[in-house]
Chains A and B, each alone.
Chain A
Amino acid sequence: NAGVTQTPKFQVLKTGQSMTLQCAQDMNHEYMSWYRQDPGMGLRLIHYSVGAGITDQGEVPNGYNVSRSTTEDFPLRLLSAAPSQTSVYFCASSTRQGIGGYTFGSGTRLTVV
């Protein structure tokens, strides 16, 4: 049982480049989310999905796109990387009821230079 798998673990981008962070879960969870973690600010929600074909914006969506074509996969796209997007990114999944909390991937440390 792999849980939530995130790739890559580390990435360095140049300003203006684009890339996709991959996220897959094998627990048949309806809900999936992307968070970014910055020092002193906890985790902030970027985008989320409540099921295949349904996505919505979180607190800090600017500069990011998502799609959810299957229950398992929820990729995050950086359209034109900026230094302000330097952060640690987490993908997470959960059942609809939420009583078990979210299961998190291992995170991606992204640096934009």
Chain B
Amino acid sequence: AQTVTQSQPEMSVQEAETVTLSCTYDTSESDYYLFWYKQPPSRQMILVIRQEAYKQQNATENRFSVNFQKAAKSFSLKISDSQLGDAAMYFCAYRIQGAQKLVFGQGTRLTINP
């Protein structure tokens, strides 16, 4: 069974600094996608960044980047120049290519200190 583990229930960072959220997953598949979702207090689930497993290059979206280590089954999210608006729950998720199910980790609550 596929599982996703986020080992940090809570993280905090000073505004303008960099923070890294950890995620590991377990799968025997070779073709899959990985995602980071942000859930602010508004409750909306917002896609932050995605990574195709077949791509060696790490995905980046502005201040957000990932460190994808396929052999280690690790998918961490780095947020640079943290802003107050980055405060939210962050969920790591996994999906086999072409399959329906999206498997979520337990989430990491990120606090930004001004």
Contacts and interface: CB of A to CB of B under 8 A. Distances in A.
Nearest to B4: A42
Interface of B: 4, 9, 33, 35, 37, 42-45, 47, 50, 52, 91, 93, 95, 97-102, 104-107
Interface string A30-59: 010101000011111100101000000010
Interface of A: 31, 33, 35, 40-45, 48, 50, 58, 88, 90, 92, 94, 96-104, 106-107, 109
Contacts of A35: 104
Given A42-B91, A101-B47, A104-B45, A96 B104 contact: no
Contact of A100 (B9, B42, B50, B97): B50
Contact of B98 (A33, A42, A98): A98
Given A96-B98, A101-B33, A107 B43 contact: yes
Contact of A33 (B50, B91, B102): B102
A90 B102 CA distance: 13
Nearest to A48: B100
Contacts of A90: 45
Contacts of B105: 42
B97 A97 contact: yes
A97 B45 contact: no
A110 to B, nearest CB: 13
Contact of A97 (B4, B98, B107): B98
Contact of B33 (A50, A99, A104): A99
B106 A102 contact: no
